Structure 1
Amino acid sequence: MAHYTSKYAIQSSPALFRQNKLKGFTLVELLIVIAIIGILASIVLATTGTARAKSRDARRLADFKSVQAALELYYSSNSSTYPPANTWAALGTALNAGYIKGLPSDPGSYAYTYQSTNGAATPVACGVVKCEGYLIRGQTEYANYMTQDVIGVGAVPSANCTVAGGPPYDYCLKR
């Protein structure tokens, strides 16, 4: 019986099997790499979530400052009185007459509130009395990111930052 060899014949030597075995990754190695990628992705997503919340809170602060500037323009043009409005929409109607291009809205799912006051340390809604003050309230996402801001008053209006039956506002701008 003759031994037939061909250049296409598969050789079965132990060295060839060892060489082919070293060319790929094992299932355990692939699972470890996938787990590491998953952990890194979750860290990145958690970090960007906090950054986005801080960004929206910074936008809220900028919105309040722009409304404050429009209110001061209104005050100087209208015999030293602020708009006698008790809702954000009513404030928008008063300020859209040349004081601000458009009243900003919350960048998230919260809402801003406005209340005209008599300007006292413990504000009372103005009606018959002159509107010499206001209270703008908003809610933030990131705890302790913003604090209350009092302009021209010595006390912080922490009691006035919360409205009975409403959401807990943690940022107040008072004049």
Structure 2
Amino acid sequence: MRNNISFSTKGFTLIELLVVISIIGLLASVVLVSFPTSTKKTRDSIRMQELKQIQTALRLYYDIHHQMPINRTPGFGYCDNQANFLQELVDAGLWPYNPKDPGNRNYCYYDYGPDNSIGALLVVTLESYSGTEGIPGSCRPWAPGVNWCSKSDNSYYCLCTPYSPYW
């Protein structure tokens, strides 16, 4: 008796399936490796945009009250508790809510006064930038190593808000 075993050419061979699965796995690993970096950059973008909006609210506050929100603790900026100066903006109707940083980092504030070219300083720490000196809009009023917004490469994004009627 003769065995009539016929092999169908329909379908994929085991080698073909392994090649396709390995290519899909390689592509998936590339996507997963780049995903955390893109989420950090997205959170940083949100931080920078929100800080610019807070700066606009501070300027409006100054136009109305002829002063910036005061420093609650002389000599210290608001970094540990962001609610004080932001709550003043909310109470004045210039900001709709007390913002929460997308990555649980604090928005920092310190008012250097009208006789200083810095004015009120807004600061946030970014995740995906090792040096923010080259980021447009980030002011650097101090020499390297002197303060939080020095000319050193650091991850602070700083906005100076001088007491100027011409902004």
- Alignment TM-score, normalising by the size of structure 2: 0.70
- Distance (whole Å) between structure 2 residues aligned to residue 71 and residue 116 of structure 1: 11
2:41 aligned with 1:44: no
Find the counterpart in structure 2 of residue 83 from structure 1: 69
**More divergent stretch after superposition (25-34 vs 66-75):** 25-34
Find the counterpart in structure 1 of residue 3 from structure 2: 12
Matching residue within 9, 17, 21 for 1:34: 21
Structure 2 unaligned segments of length 5 or more: list them.
Answer: 72-76, 162-167
- Distance (whole Å) between structure 1 residues aligned to residue 20 and residue 104 of structure 2: 38
For residues 34-74 of structure 1, give each alpha carbon's deviation from its aligned partner in whole angstroms, at most 9, with x where no partner exists. Answer: 11101111222334433322221111111111110110111
Matched length: 143
How far residue 103 of structure 1 moved from its aligned partner, in angstroms, is 2.8
Decide whether the 8 Å contact of 1:161 with 1:171 is kept in 2: no
- Distance (whole Å) between structure 2 residues aligned to residue 11 and residue 72 of structure 1: 94
How far residue 169 of structure 1 moved from its aligned partner, in angstroms, is 4.4
Percent identity of paired positions between Structure 1 and Structure 2: 33
Decide whether the 8 Å contact of 1:149 with 1:173 is kept in 2: yes
Q: Work out which of the two has the higher radius of gyration on C-alpha atoms and give 1 or 2.
A: 1
How far residue 112 of structure 1 moved from its aligned partner, in angstroms, is 1.6
Once the two structures are superposed, the pairs formed by residues 3-152 of structure 1 within 5 Å of their partners are 12-13=3-4, 16-17=5-6, 19-20=7-8, 22-79=9-66, 81-85=67-71, 86-87=77-78, 88-97=82-91, 98-119=93-114, 120-121=116-117, 133-143=119-129, 144=131, 147=135, 149-150=138-139
For residues 115-160 of structure 1, give each alpha carbon's deviation from its aligned partner in whole angstroms, at most 9, with x where no partner exists. Answer: 1222525x6xxxxxxxxx211111112225772523xxxx634643
- Distance (whole Å) between structure 1 residues aligned to residue 155 and residue 41 of structure 2: 16
- Alignment TM-score, normalising by the size of structure 1: 0.67
Q: Which runs of 4+ in 1 moved over 6 A?
A: none
- Distance (whole Å) between structure 1 residues aligned to residue 55 and residue 37 of structure 2: 27
Helix, strand or coil: the match of 1:59?
Answer: helix
Decide whether the 8 Å contact of 1:114 with 1:137 is kept in 2: yes
- Distance (whole Å) between structure 1 residues aligned to residue 97 and residue 155 of structure 2: 23
How far residue 31 of structure 1 moved from its aligned partner, in angstroms, is 2.2
How far residue 23 of structure 1 moved from its aligned partner, in angstroms, is 4.1
Q: CA RMSD in A?
A: 2.8
Structure 1 unaligned segments of length 5 or more: list them.
Answer: 1-9, 124-132
